[in-house]
């Protein structure tokens, strides 16, 4: 395997899954920031790598892997450090991991996220500061018009990508209609209740049958199903919905599972990246605008450090 590179955006749900996987496997990889709020996923060069125009993408030399589930599989099979995330599907634990991974994947996360940003009164405790910032910065109602205009212009400029851009336009239209539908948003939020009831039951069963009080979804080992659940729970907290979905009263085992996640190194690493996103984005934009300016800035900081050290002597 050559040097891995992950194209991602820290706030992206599916990017977080790829990052968790790489950190769980102790993989060395290059960070390639794709600022999706600035539309960088639609750049022709990026679209040629992933015609869906989405993050994450994993590059291993010439090999390109798109879609977070495929990335999790690829990394688990090809990185030989860390523990196995996807147990053999012929084993009972392997079957359970596959079942729970699919169950968590059935959450309509985009409708849930943009639905809450649109109908903020549906959030149990109010949006987190970061979610509020996101809701304010993207004019959600005007969003589709802007996307359509940009993608149409790009489709004209790059005929080889015309179909891919048109698929994106259709998808954006459908998506915008969905999260403006309050009834549908409520329906999605109710579906999450059922999924989390099932998860609470699974955690109870594991606790009783295996006698482990601090178990992950299928026992002592943290697997791909846990990666999927981790990003869902973090998204729920981001949207200020945890009081509705997991509290010591509502789903106590899920609540303690969430507390335990905070002690896991890979989870801490991803959360640190998410919190540092605003700083990373600024640096990325400066570097993109002019690598020379960034070089001068870094040299300036280095000179200031050397000067202050010499002065202190
Ligand atoms: N099925 C894909 C979904 C990826 C996806 O939806 N990515 C979102 C961010 S979480 C994205 O890139 N959105 C930007 C866009 O569609 O333009 C996966 O699992 O990787």
Best CA proximity match to 18, nearest among 249, 247, 270, 192: 270
Nearest CA, atom 9, ligand 1: 12
Q: Under a CB-based contact definition with an 8 Å cutoff, are residues 147 and 140 in contact? A: no
| pLDDT of 294 | 67
Does the pLDDT at position 138 exceed 70?
no
Does the pLDDT at position 290 exceed 90?
no
Q: How far apart are CA 14 and CA 232, in angstroms?
A: 10
Best CA proximity match to 234, nearest among 41, 74, 6, 15: 15
pLDDT in tens, 106-118: 999 999 999 999 8
| pLDDT of 179 | 83
Residue 69 CA: nearest ligand 1 atom is: 19
pLDDT in tens, 9-65: 999 999 999 999 999 999 999 999 999 988 999 999 999 999 999 999 999 999 999
* pTM (predicted TM-score): 0.91
Of residues 220 and 288, more confidently modeled: 220
> Which of the following CATH numbers is that of domain 1-82: 3.30.70.660, 3.30.930.10, 2.60.120.700, 3.40.30.10?
3.40.30.10
Q: How far apart are CA 310 and CA 245, in angstroms?
A: 56
Mutate to test the pocket of ligand 1, among 6, 9, 14, 174 (most ligand atoms within 8 A of CB): 14
Report CA(81)–ligand 1 centroid distance (Å).
27
Instruction: Please state the domain extents for the chain.
Output: 1-82, 85-275, 280-313
């Amino acid at each position: 395997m050559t040097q891995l590179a992950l194209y991602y955006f820290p706030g992206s749900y599916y990017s977080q899954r790829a990052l968790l996987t790489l950190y769980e496997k102790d993989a060395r990889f290059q960070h390639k920031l794709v600022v999706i709020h600035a539309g960088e996923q639609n750049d022709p060069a990026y679209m040629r790598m992933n015609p869906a125009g989405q993050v994450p993408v994993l590059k291993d030399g010439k090999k390109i892997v798109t879609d977070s589930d495929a990335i999790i599989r690829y990394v688990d099979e090809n990185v030989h450090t860390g523990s196995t995330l996807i147990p053999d599907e012929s084993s009972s634990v392997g079957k359970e991991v596959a079942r729970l991974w699919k169950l968590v994947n059935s959450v309509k996360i985009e409708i849930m996220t943009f639905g809450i940003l649109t109908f903020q009164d549906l959030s149990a405790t109010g949006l987190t500061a970061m979610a509020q910032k996101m809701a304010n910065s993207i004019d959600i109602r005007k969003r589709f018009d802007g996307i359509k205009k940009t993608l149409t212009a790009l489709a004209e400029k790059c005929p080889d990508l015309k179909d891919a851009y048109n698929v994106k336009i259709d998808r954006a239209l459908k998506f915008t209609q969905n999260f403006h539908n309050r009834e549908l948003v409520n329906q999605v939020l109710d579906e999450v209740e059922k999924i989390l009831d099932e998860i609470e039951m699974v955690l109870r069963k594991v606790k009783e049958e295996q006698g482990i009080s601090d178990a992950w979804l299928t026992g002592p080992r943290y697997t791909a199903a846990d990666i999927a659940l981790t990003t869902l729970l973090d998204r729920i907290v981001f949207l200020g919905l945890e009081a509705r979905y997991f509290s010591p009263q509502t789903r106590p085992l899920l609540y303690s599972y969430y507390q335990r996640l905070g002690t896991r190194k890979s989870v801490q690493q991803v959360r640190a990246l998410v919190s540092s996103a605003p700083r990373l984005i600024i640096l990325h934009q400066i570097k993109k605008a002019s690598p020379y300016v960034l070089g001068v800035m870094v040299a300036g900081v280095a000179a200031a450090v050397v000067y202050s050290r010499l002065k202190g002597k």
